[in-house]
Amino acid sequence: MADTRLSRRAALGSGLAAAVSPLFGATSGAAEEKPLKIGVLVDTSGPASIHGERQLLGVRYQAELIGRGVQLDVRDTKGDVGTTRAEAVALLRDGVDGLIGTSMPATAAVVAEEAQTAGVPLVVPTTVLPPLPPFAFSSAATPLQARRQCMRAVRGASARRTALLIADTLATDQALKVYAEQAAAEGVELVTVTKFTTSATTLTEPVTTLLEQKPEAVIVAAPPPFNGLAARTLRELKWPGVICCGPAAGHPGFLQAAGEAAEGVRVPAPWLLLADRIPDTVPNSWVVRAFVASFVPKHGPVGTFLGYGVDAVGMLYHAYAGHRDRQRARATLEHMTYVGVSGVFRMSPDNHSGLDDAALMTFRARNGQWVADGA
């Protein structure tokens, strides 16, 4: 397959003259005298391992395409803050050039602390609240972006009274504040917040409690398989309202776990989730098509967290192009426009997440597949 790096003509034509993009073809990575050493911290076991495995697949896929120019050192964080900190410190002690991690906001915060202290660039491939420390950047949508899009989907479905069903590991005070703020901003009434533990084997009790408030819509904030289990439980209890899951439902396992109950479920996600129908007018459409053409024949369905992993490697690789200076790489990341598989990222000193708001769409499950909401 031909190299799909952004040409100057393509960059100028899309208004992205200083842009860089992922690498899905032959690269010059093998010619690097010193490989870029990247420490990767993800949950390959623990409560977020279903995301960690997908992140790691994306990370490894992009690294393999770059070739000998990238060297990965992968560590399992196990979803545990203490383990995460110990592994991050060990990687930094080993002299990695950059870090990618983690699979959960709580453990990502720990890695950000250690990366900042050591002065090593970090790219976080999961949803984390800004602002981020000077050495930390994100290759994912922010919680604010995802929750805003979900509230708009609820409002667009003519629902107002909305309940939030959320995994206890995600229900921080800061996270709940963002849900409340975005609901108010979009004219949605958040009538109740119901938490559940990720050790649960059934959600009948919390869902029954939630439905006592008679919501017209339910927002599910949980990783697979819990988001699929929540959808099944709501439909088993004959509740007919609107269901909107967070970007975690972009995992291929969601449709399988939810089964017939997935029908009509909405999810905010990048266009990568519907790559075969991405319009030419979407700024990163050619990147998405190139990635899918390269990835799917070998590995099957794509998904949101997979894309976050791909873009994390691409960002670090471009930040270190031609050198191995950490301060210089940080400065490059801070001013980078990156056309990734998840969308266009426009980093700045005030915005270390950078994903364009327009990169997130609302998709709806129909007959076991995703379609654009309203299609």
Residue range 59-98, pLDDT digits in tens: 999 999 999 899 999 999 999 999 999 999 999 999 999 9
What is the domain-level CATH number for residue 107?
Answer: 3.40.50.2300
Q: Which of 268, 290, 308 is the last residue before a domain boundary? A: 268
Weakest mean pLDDT among 8-22, 306-320, 358-372 = 8-22
pTM listed for this prediction = 0.92
In 3-state terms, the chain is what percent helix, strand and coil (to 5)?
45, 20, 35
For 225-237, how does the pLDDT look when each residue is reduced to its tens digit (9 = 90+)?
999 999 999 999 9
Evaluate whether residue 371 is within a structural domain: no
pLDDT of amino acid 208: 98
Residues 163 and 218 in one domain: yes
Co-location of 329 and 225 in the same domain:
no
193 and 49 housed in the same domain? no
d(CA 17, CA 375): 33
Mean pLDDT of 339-368: 97
- What pLDDT, on the 0 to 100 scale, is given for residue 20? 83
Based on the domain organization, do 135 and 281 belong to the same domain?
yes
364 within domain boundaries: no
320 lies in the same domain as 228: no
**In this model, does residue 33 exceed pLDDT 70?**
no
Q: Tell me: the pLDDT tens digits for 149-201?
A: 999 999 999 999 999 999 998 999 999 999 999 999 999 999 999 999 989 99
* Stretch among 1-5, 154-158, 210-214, 311-315 having the lowest mean pLDDT: 1-5
* Full domain range(s) for residue 209: 143-268
Residue from 73, 6, 5, 1 nearest 35 by CA: 73
Question: Do 151 and 137 fall into the same domain?
Answer: no
- 21: confidence class by pLDDT, cuts 50, 70, 90: confident
pLDDT at 6: 41
Contact assessment for residue 41 and residue 77, using Cβ atoms and an 8 Å cutoff: yes
User: Percentage of the chain with pLDDT > 70?
Assistant: 92
Do residues 265 and 299 lie in contact, with contact meaning Cβ atoms separated by under 8 Å? no
Instruction: Please say which residue of 245, 268, 291 terminates a domain.
Output: 268
State yes or no: pLDDT of 8 exceeds 60.
no
**Which pLDDT score, from 0 to 100, does residue 350 have?**
97
Instruction: Tell whether 156 is covered by a domain.
Output: yes
In a domain, 16, yes or no: yes
User: Is residue 13 located within the same domain as residue 128?
Assistant: yes
Q: Is 245 left (phi over 0), alpha (psi -120 to 50) or beta?
A: beta
Whether 28 is in a domain gets the answer: yes
Q: Considering the domain boundaries, does residue 367 fall inside one?
A: no
Record the tokens describing residue 283, joined without a space.
């700024």
What is the per-residue pLDDT for 24? 63
Question: Residue range 251-273: average pLDDT?
Answer: 96
281 with 322, same domain: the answer is yes
Contact 275/289 with Cβ under 8 angstroms? yes
Asked, as a colleague might, if the bond just before 225 is cis with ω within 30 of 0, I would say: yes
**Quick one: which of 307, 295, 363 has its CA closest to 339?**
307
Q: What is the DSSP string of 203-262?
A: -HHHHHHHHTT--SEEEEE--TTHHHHHHHHHHHTT--SEEEE-GGGGSHHHHHHHGGGG
Predicted confidence band of residue 14 (pLDDT cuts 50, 70, 90): very low
Rounded to whole angstroms, how far apart are CA atoms 125 and 74?
Answer: 14
Whether the per-residue pLDDT at 31 is higher than 70: the answer is no
Q: How many CA atoms lie within 13 A of 213 on its CB side?
A: 20
- Same domain as 151, residue 52: no
Q: Which of 268, 283, 305 is the last residue of a domain?
A: 268
The confidence score (pLDDT) of residue 19 equals 75
Number of domains composing the chain: 2
Residues ≥6 apart with Cβ < 8 Å to 43: 49, 51, 52, 76, 77, 78, 79, 102, 103, 104, 107
Q: What pLDDT was estimated at residue 224?
A: 87
- Residue 228 domain-assigned (yes or no): yes
pLDDT confidence tier of residue 4, bands split at 50, 70 and 90: very low
- Locate all alpha helices (DSSP H) within the chain, ordered by sequence: 8-13, 49-66, 81-93, 105-118, 143-156, 173-185, 204-211, 226-236, 252-258, 285-299, 304-319, 326-334
CA distance 175 to 316: 28
Does 236 share its domain with 157? yes
296 is a domain residue: yes
- What tens digit of pLDDT does each residue of 107-119 get? 999 999 999 999 9
Q: How far apart are CA 175 and CA 69, in angstroms?
A: 38
| Same-domain pairing of 299 and 249 | no
Report the relative pairing of strands 70-76 and 98-101 from DSSP bridges.
Answer: unpaired
- Rg, Å, the chain Cα set: 20
In terms of domains, do 213 and 295 share one? no
Give the Cα separation of 135 and 116 in Å (integer).
5
